[in-house]
């Protein structure tokens, strides 16, 4: 999962992805290779030993978080943000006084970089740092930078300096493709912020943006807020499954894996019981997004949000989802029948399949058919072994290695954070990954990738190395064993490392399009692709060894695990189609034809098939409506692209170096600096060969059909 930044325009396009590399001639030639450090150590061993704490350094200077000198104390955020804001003012003056040309785009990108280097770092620290003072200071920095971004996105003088460039055909024709795209992306950010409106409407657009940010924050908090019920209303024999608080029982989740049907039913009905305040917040959020979209010239928020994506528009998304649903329907019905039979076998009194049943009973079916108890696999997946497996794969596929490096005093926020140097065999040091892998108090329970600093070519010809954080929630090692991963944890590790590699590999000229600063429905492709490697025995066999005996993981165990994932896969995907369709309808034509709950009921019956449960409102727990508003379909679209890339490039040989270089050159290298469909077509020769003479529109439709069909 990407942690998607809240800031638009100059604040960045998303979170973290890669730059551009070889194939770019003069740019690559102009970057000096970084030397190898003698302080680096093997990555596998670094993750299978307990952290030793900070080095004894009585006289060393405290460097600050991520090596930023100001951030040795919380007060440093104020210093960093003020420095960034002062630099911003100077760069705005430069942009407005510089004659239009390529230099204009470079100044805009430096402006974006100066803000992102504070905002991106603060976005991570405000949720992950263990000290409240650091979190509060980071939150204030985010607020301050966000205010500046809104001002810049409606600054007419700044807008006109870019417009002069793009209005001059001769100048535009002289720009290289990446520079032209970045200029157009900056212009697009101005336009969706309402720069073309009169002064009064621009102010209204800014006010709506601020309101949407506040509503988003409130709604997001409410999605995780527990519900409570008086004890006497619950059967006594199931109360022990929940937390007690005086005369009440606290329900803080769906308890989807609980073996007792009544526990799951109670959790579902209580946790999803409608909250009037949360309902009002969602309605205001959707309405405000619609007002903003209409104000800046779009018919719906979805039309505004999907500009520049693979899908291009909501009509294509809905067609994709409806066709996919049709193709899944028969298999989904078979899955539900299989679940019904298992439920009848275990609970003959009530065999109707309800929405709280599929996660549990599909797991029962998998375990019964394939004997995939996680405890059988964990001993083969020590964290160190998995990291060494990633190192082997990346080295053979892309020529890069991961090395552990000792962080300086004050550089990390917890002593168990590991720092990795990413090194290419000929290009040298590519960047750094901070691995925040272990559970701790107050740490968010989510697996995420954060950009801390994006890569870009600096004026002096040197390259600003990308820096990212991977955040997981793994158990700590014990006295008798290192950290052991379940198969699901191992797959998540590979997934998040896919995001990190997207950030590390390549060298874009511009920070504004580095790494995951690309369309949402393309950003998950590299991470999902890594899941295919994690489930291929040829890859797993390179590293899965029992931590005590050294015995390799038997091939039949990997085969059983892979086969088990096909159980109820259609029903699982059908559920994602339902969520994506609901998201599109909520962000479609307003005013909505019914309440959000009535729309939920209709959409669930059409796209999922299991009955709606009265007096529930699942949409009030749909946290993705904030970060992925109108874009939840992106997971399905990215999975379709990743599936095709796997089959085209790596199915025959997951270690094919030529295929790896092609994947890097045509997809990873460009970040958001190239149209996503052009990157897909460049890798997927089957697309270009099937319709070489067709128009772009016809080729796009053909690609959508290929992607949809490949999913099923």
Contact criterion met (CB below 8 Å) for 47 and 551 = no
Q: Which of 110, 265, 496, 524 is catalytic?
A: 496
Q: How far apart are CA 605 and CA 612, in angstroms?
A: 7
Strand locations in 441-575 (E): 448-453, 456-457, 463-464, 467-474
Q: Token pair for residue 142? A: 């985010």
The CA-based angle 418-423-429, given to 5 degrees, is 95
Tally Cβ neighbours within 10 Å of residue 604: 21
681 is catalytic: no
Go through the chain and tell me how many residues it has: 712
Q: What is the crossing angle of helices 487-504 and 525-534, to 10°?
A: 140
Q: What is the DSSP string of 174-219?
A: HS-HHHHHHHHHHHHHHHHTTTTS-HHHHHHHHHHHHHHHHHHHHH
Q: How far apart are CA 72 and CA 64, in angstroms?
A: 4
Q: How far is CA 670 from CA 185, 450, 711, in A?
A: 14, 19, 25
Q: How far apart are CA 474 and CA 440, in angstroms?
A: 10
Question: What is the per-residue burial (b if ≥16 Cβ within 10 Å, else e) of 656-688?
Answer: beebbbbbbbbbbbbbbbbbbbebbbbbbeebe
Question: What is the per-residue burial (b if ≥16 Cβ within 10 Å, else e) of 528-563?
Answer: bbbbbbbbbbebbebbbbebeeeeebeeebbebbbe
Residue 484 is given by DSSP the state: B
Q: Token pair for residue 44? A: 């596998």
**Positions marked active-site:** 496
């Amino acid at each position: 999962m990407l942690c998607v930044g809240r800031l638009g325009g100059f604040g960045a396009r998303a979170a973290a992805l890669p730059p551009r590399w070889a194939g770019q001639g003069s740019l690559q030639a102009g970057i000096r290779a970084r030397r190898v450090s003698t302080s680096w150590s093997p990555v596998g061993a670094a993750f299978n030993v307990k952290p030793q704490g900070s080095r004894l350094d009585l006289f060393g200077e405290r460097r600050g978080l991520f090596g930023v000198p100001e951030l040795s104390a919380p007060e440093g955020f104020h210093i960093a943000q003020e420095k960034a804001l002062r630099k911003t003012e100077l760069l705005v003056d430069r942009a407005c006084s510089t004659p239009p040309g390529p230099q204009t785009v470079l100044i805009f990108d430096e402006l974006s970089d100066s803000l992102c280097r504070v905002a991106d770092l603060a976005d991570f620290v405000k949720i992950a740092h263990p000290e409240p003072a650091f979190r509060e200071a980071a939150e204030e920095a985010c607020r301050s930078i966000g205010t500046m971004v809104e001002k810049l996105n409606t600054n007419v003088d700044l807008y006109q300096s870019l417009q002069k460039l793009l209005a001059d055909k001769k100048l535009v024709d002289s720009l290289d493709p990446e520079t032209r795209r970045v200029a157009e992306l900056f212009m697009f950010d101005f336009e969706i912020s309402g720069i073309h409106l009169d002064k009064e409407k621009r102010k209204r657009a800014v006010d709506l943006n601020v309101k949407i940010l506040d509503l988003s924050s409130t709604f997001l908090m409410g999605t995780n807020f527990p519900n409570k019920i008086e004890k006497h209303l619950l059967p006594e024999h199931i109360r022990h499954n929940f937390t007690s608080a005086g005369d009440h029982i606290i329900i803080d989740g769906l308890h989807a894996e609980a073996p007792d049907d009544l526990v799951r039913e109670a959790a579902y009905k209580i946790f999803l019981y409608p909250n009037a305040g949360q309902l009002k917040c969602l309605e205001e959020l959707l309405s405000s997004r619609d007002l903003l979209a209409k104000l800046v010239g779009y018919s719906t928020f979805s039309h505004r949000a999907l500009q520049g994506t693979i899908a291009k528009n909501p009509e294509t998304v809905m067609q994709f989802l409806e066709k996919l649903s049709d193709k899944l329907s028969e298999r989904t019905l078979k899955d539900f029948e299989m679940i019904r039979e298992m439920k009848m076998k275990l609970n003959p009194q009530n065999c109707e399949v309800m929405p709280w049943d599929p996660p549990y009973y599909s797991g029962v079916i998998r375990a019964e058919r394939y004997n995939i108890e996680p405890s059988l696999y964990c001993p083969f997946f020590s964290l160190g072994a998995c990291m060494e497996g990633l190192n082997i794969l990346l080295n053979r596929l892309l020529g890069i290695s991961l090395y552990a490096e000792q962080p300086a005093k004050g550089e990390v926020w917890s002593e168990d954070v590991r720092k990795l140097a990413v090194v290419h065999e000929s290009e040298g040091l590519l960047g750094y990954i901070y691995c925040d892998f272990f559970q701790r108090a107050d740490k968010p329970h989510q697996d995420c990738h954060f950009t801390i600093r994006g890569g870009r070519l600096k004026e002096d010809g040197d390259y600003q190395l990308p820096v990212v954080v991977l955040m997981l929630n793994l158990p700590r090692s014990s006295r008798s064993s290192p950290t052991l991963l379940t198969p699901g944890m191992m797959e998540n590790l590979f997934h998040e490392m896919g995001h990190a590699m997207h950030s590390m590999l390549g060298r874009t000229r511009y920070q504004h399009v580095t790494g995951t600063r690309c369309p949402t429905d393309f950003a998950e492709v590299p991470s999902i692709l890594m899941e295919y490697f994690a489930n291929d025995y040829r890859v797993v066999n390179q590293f899965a060894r029992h931590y005590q005996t050294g015995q390799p993981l038997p091939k039949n165990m990997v085969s059983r695990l892979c086969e088990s994932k096909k159980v109820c896969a259609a029903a699982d995907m059908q559920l994602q189609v339902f969520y994506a369709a609901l998201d599109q309808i909520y962000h479609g034509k307003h005013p909505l034809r019914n309440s959000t709950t009535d729309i939920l009921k209709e959409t669930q019956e059409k796209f999922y098939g299991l009955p709606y449960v009265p007096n529930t409102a699942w949409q009030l727990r749909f946290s993705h409506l904030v970060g992925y508003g109108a874009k939840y379909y992106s997971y399905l679209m990215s999975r379709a692209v990743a599936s095709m890339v796997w089959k085209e490039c790596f199915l025959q040989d997951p270690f094919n170096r030529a295929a790896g270089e092609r994947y890097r050159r045509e997809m990873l290298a460009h970040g958001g600096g190239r149209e996503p469909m052009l990157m897909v077509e460049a890798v997927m020769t089957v697309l270009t060969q099937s319709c070489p003479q067709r128009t772009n529109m016809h080729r796009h439709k053909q690609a959508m059909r290929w992607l949809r069909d490949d999913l099923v």
